[in-house]
Homo-oligomer: A and B are copies of this chain.
């Protein structure tokens, strides 16, 4: 058994990463989107990193996976009374990472160091790695103009139709040593692209300069799991965005987004009819239940994905031989 690198964000990504973590422990590194990070009132918010941390530490709320279990809102209640802006609902527990992160960044510590400290403190043996220590900000071009992802998501509630995405700073952002080490690990077994929104969770990671090249540097297979099942996003707004941008709203549409990047693609049993078409484009396909409702679902999907990656690797080796 080698090491595994997962690329992911949001609740779906965290769930599959959690399944992989149950199988591989310290031999897992998760590269997480920071394109939705923002500074808000002096706090350093990294929503995707925190969702990943809470999930791997077993602290995430079972129903609202992006926030810690037992979240309370005393801060926000008093904050609003004092005239604080109310468009972003900040939870008491969630604030802790935002305050410590802002303090660390203010002291010139790297986001990666701060995040790995959190891992140690929370007893997470895997490495949760920001995609870069340099700022990258996902911008959404909509019918109402260009805006930050957070403005689109929290203030406009994803209402305006999306035209395209841009990743400000990605072309100047550098890969951290920790990300490079994880992807150049001599016993890298697989790279798993988790079922997260392709546009504001996975693509920001791929856009960091050098990331695409590095993903292909070793012969480890790159395998993605579709976040779209039966023409709908399992969570969030991916289907809406694909429709508005004129893409095919299906698992095949997602495979097309990742086409140059992946060797294998995992779709849900509900979408079995799409398998042939995707295979025809030269991508290996696994058809398996992908909906993760329980920790057992997460571990089962993770096991299926890693077994599939092994098959993809063997076929690749056989083809090249």
Contact = CB atoms under 8 A, between A and B. Distances in A.
Nearest to A90: B99
Nearest to A53: B82
B74 A41 contact: no
Given A81-B122, A121-B82, A75 B103 contact: no
Interface in A74-126: 74-79, 81-84, 91-97, 99-100, 102-103, 106, 117-118, 120-122
A76 B76 CA distance: 15
A41 B103 contact: yes
Contacts of A97: 78, 82
A96 B72 contact: no
A257 interface: no
Given A42-B102, A42-B106, A100-B41, A121 B83 contact: yes
Interface residues of A, number: 34
A43 interface: yes
Contact of A75 (B75, B81, B120): B75
B77 A74 contact: no
Given A75-B99, A81-B96, 8 more contacts: A41-B102, A42-B103, A42-B106, A75-B75, A82-B96, A82-B118, A82-B122, A92-B95
Interface of A: 41-43, 68, 70-72, 74-79, 81-84, 91-97, 99-100, 102-103, 106, 117-118, 120-122
10 nearest A-B residue pairs (beta carbon): A74-B92, A78-B96, A79-B96, A83-B121, A78-B93, A92-B92, A41-B103, A72-B74, A75-B92, A74-B93
